Amino acid sequence: MALIYLSIGTNLGNKSQNLNDAIAELSFKVGNLLKVSGFYETEPWGFESKHRFLNAVVLLDTRLLPLQLLAETQQIERNLGRTSKTEDIYSDRLIDIDILLYDNLIVDLPQLKIPHPLMTERDFVIRPLLQIAPDLVHPVTGAGFSDLKF
């Protein structure tokens, strides 16, 4: 079993319900849900929108391999109403699930990068991550996430 941290976010529709639906799907299709952060309301990051986000981080253990995990999280996004996902252009979305960490594994593939390359730049990721894993260390840098300043 691998310990995985996922970031989930939404800024359309019933945001609390969207996050709860994503958490339920993840616990059913990905693995055992171990921890869920509080929900954090934040401004959009990387684009302009009048819709604020609701974000959380979850910890699960899974038997899925990294690429299987990516396929499953993308399928869950589609099941919950996400119609498109782009890598370079951000927009409003019903649900977004990002793989942050997979044990201490480092993955560098065109379709998947673990640890998530932008996670340390996003307070809407780090704040909920620290709530559920205050002593977590970045597998590449070896630095504690709690040392990041926002």
Q: Which residues are annotated as catalytic?
A: 82, 93, 96, 98
DSSP-assigned states of every residue in 75-122:
HHHHHTT-----SS-----S-EEEEEEETT--EEETTEEES-TTGGG-
- Angstrom CA distances, 46 to 19, 43, 131, stand at 21, 10, 24
d(CA 61, CA 129): 15
End-to-end CA distance of the chain: 33
d(CA 12, CA 94): 5
Handedness of CA 92, 123, 141, 64 (dihedral sign): negative
